[in-house]
Amino acid sequence: MGASPLQNCAHDPQIASRQRPGHPTRGQPARTVHLIVAIANQKGGVGKTTTAVNLAAALAMRRRNVLLIDLDPQANSSISFLDHTAIGRSTYDAIADANTSLRDIILPASLPNLSIAPAKIGLAKLEARLVGEMDAHFRLKDKIDQLQGEFAHIVIDCPPALGLLTVNALVASTHLLIPIQSSYFALEGTDDLLETIEKVRQRPNPSLRILGVVITMHDKRTALARDIREQIQKVFGSKVFRTVITKSVRLEESPAYKESIFTFAPDSTGATDYYSLCEEVIERAEARTA
């Protein structure tokens, strides 16, 4: 049998002493750059939520406080860790109500060092609520600024659209990660996403950086998947992460048990892939701020 993700990384002095995924050991946190990462692609079903949930969990395993913000009205990131009956106020309240902060809605996940700012279906009404508001695009950024560095890393799960919710995430973020499914229609709509990113960079958030593109749901056994991977590589070049997220039944099952892949199936390929992606995310972010 293959080694677990942490065994594979045992040579890394930052993580050599850590035990199984989801069970961090005591000690000083690894020193890393502060990240606010939006996980965005207006195409649905590309693995945004799976990537947001497991990247946040992997970052929390590095013994740093991590906040996962759910901006998708479907609330799949939220219910991946929380019972929906436990969710009271949501990101809708925090963004729409000047008197409600993110601190007021944040709930702890079962995973150490991870907290959730949950969503509810009512979030779908936010765009109509904020129409005409001068600061509509800055609402999330202002709420994050109020946290005053309480979280080392923040991961934002965006809805499959390029509306006000996604724009709020892009304005608030330091970095953007784009999941692209390894499928025939993989690149459909990416021009619109890149155009939106450039508009955000022009005025509200000139410092926004694209961390990279991660290929998800990849089946390396098929010729089509290999061809799609080559096509994505041609379009995005060095922006494509070395890590590829392979298709995994365990990844699909873990949300039903309110767990990340690291506690649900720590020796699975999904755990290996997402831990590798986390390390590469940190590596890229540090390289670009050095």
Domain for residue 19, yes or no? no
The tokens of 275 are what? 């831990």
For the segment 269-281, what is each residue's pLDDT rounded down to a tens digit?
Answer: 999 999 999 999 9
Domain for residue 7, yes or no? no
Domain for residue 136, yes or no? yes
Q: Which band of pLDDT confidence, cut at 50, 70 and 90, is reported for residue 289?
A: low
Percent of the chain with pLDDT over 70: 88
Residue 288's pLDDT is: 67
Domain hosting residue 36, numbered range: 32-289
Please give the tally of structural domains in the chain.
1
Separation CA 277–CA 280 (nearest Å)? 5
Domain for residue 57, yes or no? yes
Domain for residue 4, yes or no? no
Domain for residue 274, yes or no? yes
Residue 3's pLDDT is: 45
Separation CA 75–CA 93 (nearest Å)? 14
For the segment 118-153, what is each residue's pLDDT rounded down to a tens digit?
Answer: 999 999 999 999 988 999 999 999 999 999 889 999
Say which CATH number the domain at 112 has.
Answer: 3.40.50.300
- Are 220 and 246 in contact, with CB atoms under 8 Å apart? yes
Please give the average per-residue pLDDT across 233-261, as a whole number: 93
pLDDT over 70 (residue 21)? no
